[in-house]
Structure formats: structure tokens, C-alpha cells
A and B are shown apart, each in its own frame.
Chain A
Amino acid sequence: MAFWIYDSATNFLMMTDIPSLLQRMTHGDEAALAALFTEYGSKVYGMAYTVLKNTNLAQEVAQDTFMQLWKNPAAWDASKGQFSSWLLTVTRYTAIDRLRREVRRTGQDVELRDEIVSDENDDSLIRRLESNYLMTLLPHLPEEQRRVIDLAYFQGMKHSEIAEFLPAPLGTVKTRLRLGLLKLKDMLNNQ
């Protein structure tokens, strides 16, 4: 079954898919990179901003994410699941790495990270973003479980870091995170 609608030696109209775009990127096709950015740029930028809460840093991280893909388009294959999920995971970890570097660079305590990196005039946007994902996926969780999920997932903290940050006993943090994620999983399964 042919996907090709039109072809000639020069201009062409064609239909393709993500693996084909990635394959074209291995040959240095910038148009394929632009096409991927057109489709996924707002998702990647949204994730970077949710973690960093700063437009300049989010822009740098989003660009870094696409550049990682540009340098190595074969990094994704179908065995790694949906392309968009994989790309957003790469974005999240890239943003978390950047957040940690920013905290180290400024020498500030991790507790102050929002103040370090937040745009001064962007409070309403931050609230909107937080309320959006919390309201859509985390609405029925107790506040303390929601908090540890946020710190772990969107700020990249480990068990011991969350315990120190809150502060709360390590065992309590582990229990809150586990129960919160279990409830979320059940909610997803029951949707």
C-alpha cells in the first residue's frame, strides 16, 4: 500500500510518519527537525516550563531536547513506547538536570529554587499550569500525597531529598509517595 501521493525528482508531496522523519534526520534533513518541532514544540516547551517555571530556561531546555534528538535520531525506537511519551521523559529529565545545575550555580538552598528561577511577572501563568495538571490528574489525592508527587516527578527529588526539604520522616515520605502513585494508577485504570 503506497503512502506516496506525488513524487518527482524535485518538488514532491508526500505522506510520512515519525520513524520516517527521524530517518530523514539521520541524513541531516533540517526540514524533518522543523516538522517535529512544529508538532511537539509546545508539549516539550510546556513540560520544560512546568519544571523550571522560567521562560528563558524552558526555552534553552526545549532546544537542548530537540538537539539531543537531532544529534542522535536513533535514540528512539518503537520498543521505547510512544514517541511523545519518550520525548517528554527526555524533556523532564533534561529540565530537572538544568534545575539542579541552576540551584548549584546560584548556591541557594533547594527550598528557594522557585524564587531563583521564576519569572517575576509570570505568577498567574505558573498558577494556571499547576492548577491544570493537578486538577486534571491529582484532584482526589490528599494534599500531602500530591505534594510529594510534585516534588518527585516535576522537581526530580529523591526520597531522602523530599524528606529533608519538607521536612518529614523518610518513612513517611516513602509511604505518601507510594500511596499517592498507587491511587493515581487506580484512578487511571478506572477512567
Chain B
Amino acid sequence: MLDYQHLRELIPAYSIGATDAEETRLVEVGLVNFPELATELREFQYLSDALADSVPEMAPPPQMLGNLLAAAREIRPVSAPALKVLPRPAPRRMSLSWRAVAAGLALFLVLTNAFWLYRANQPVVREIKLWDAADAATNPLRCQIVVFPNNPSAVMIAQNFPILDGATTYQMWMRKDGGIVSLGVFTVDGQGNGLLTFSSDILNQPFNSIGVTIEPLGGSLEPTTPSVVRWTSI
């Protein structure tokens, strides 16, 4: 017979995976029979999440991104199931009752617009691609800038870039208001992967294009070679 008080005492340990096998089995049976246990469990799961969040962040080794992407190339992810396309019904004249339904739907959409407005105001990830998907077959270089909310630094991720000789480096540029600003220089590892971080503030101002060129070691005052990758505004 299940002892509610005993099960309740096991919930804290269960929430962090510390119960022994038999205790775990008992709690899981108890969760089905006593809904209030599930409420208690949720509170301790919140604690478990808070403990995880309290763990200090550590910068991963610089080669890790390249290793991860190399491993990812070997394995394709499980694809989402394809959406079934239903045949389009023939247009019909709308009856009065259907007009009422349509009016209700319109009202529903107006009301739910508040949800989308809410979503639109949530922090989002901003991404700028500096490579042309249409040219992917002929140009293997991949380069993107990622800006996450509440993060003062933007990150440029370069992939498949040619490895340069010791006398040159990659340099990223922004063209705005007729002038050119250097966003920094970077190199790539043995697999052609590189990272560059810079203040994301500059991306909040209008700009015309961003590009990467090959420059003498240490960088240049302005681009001296054509861009190897580039994003251009309309």
C-alpha cells in the first residue's frame, strides 16, 4: 500500500535523480495516484533548474566549435515528418452560417493578435548571413554573425575558410554612411573555422554591407582585396 507521507518525503531526492531504483518506482506509482505529489515535484524541479543555472559558465576550448561541426557533418539529424498537403477544395458560395463562422474567426484572430504582439516583443536571436545560398555549390565558405538578446557581444562564425599563410589574416568590414569601419581581424583553425566577437551596438545602426577580406597580418586601414564573403543590404 502506498504511504503518501513517505512518498512526499522522497520527492526532493527524486527531483534530482537521487532515489534508489525501488524508491523511484514507488514515487512514479505515487505520482499517478496522488496528483498533489506532482505539484510538489514541480516545485523541486524548479529548484533543480536553479541549481543548474547557478553553475558558472566556462569558455569552451576554441577548437570545440570546429570539432562539433565536423562531427555534425557525419550525422544528419532526424528530419521532421513531412507535412501532408491536402487537396484544395473547390470554391463555394459562402452561406449565412459560414459568414457567421468567418466573423467569429476574424474576431478570434484580432484577439489572438495580442499573443503575436507579445511574442514579437520577446527577446530573439538576430542573424546575418554573409554567404550566398545560391552559390553554395561553388563557394563552400560559410560565415554568419549571430546576436543573442541581452548579450553585448555579437559573434561572427566562419566555416570552411581557406587557411592563410602566416603573412595574411582575415578582416571583417562594415560599410555605412559612405565610410568603412573595421570590425576586427581573425584567423581560422586547421579546419577553416574561426570566431570573431565585437560589440553588437554597431549592428543597431544603419549599415549598407558587411564583408570579409584577406589583408596583411595585423589588418589594414581599408580593404585591399575583394570580399571572400559579403552581406549587402537591398
Contact = CB atoms under 8 A, between A and B. Distances in A.
A140 to B, nearest CB: 14
B157 A34 contact: yes
B12 A177 contact: yes
Nearest to B229: A11
B17 A156 contact: yes
A43 B131 CA distance: 29
B interface residue count range (under 10 / 10 to 19 / 20 to 34 / 35 or more): 35 or more
A37 B53 contact: no
A159 B22 CA distance: 11
A50 B55 contact: yes
Contacts, number: 220
A159 B20 contact: yes
A166 interface: no
B96 interface: no
Given A46-B56, A59-B64, A159-B18, A67 B78 contact: no
A146 to B, nearest CB: 12
Given A63-B67, A137-B54, A11 B232 contact: yes
Nearest to A56: B61
Contacts of A89: 48-49, 52
Nearest to B61: A59
Given A31-B144, A160-B20, A3 B77 contact: no
B51 interface: yes
Interface string A12-51: 1111111001010111101101110111011111110110
Interface of A: 1, 3, 6, 8-18, 21, 23, 25-28, 30-31, 33-35, 37-39, 41-47, 49-50, 55, 58-59, 62-63, 66-67, 70-74, 81-82, 84-85, 88-89, 92-93, 128-129, 132-133, 136-137, 149, 152-153, 156-160, 162, 174, 177-178, 181-182, 184-185, 188
10 contacts: A6-B234, A12-B129, A14-B126, A33-B69, A37-B68, A66-B68, A72-B77, A73-B78, A133-B54, A153-B48
* The 9 nearest A-B residue pairs measured at CB: A152-B18, A181-B12, A42-B57, A85-B49, A88-B52, A1-B120, A46-B58, A45-B60, A26-B80
Interface of B: 9, 12-13, 15-20, 23, 43-61, 64-65, 67-69, 71-73, 75-80, 113, 116-117, 119-120, 122, 124-135, 142, 144, 146, 148, 151, 155, 157, 159, 230-234
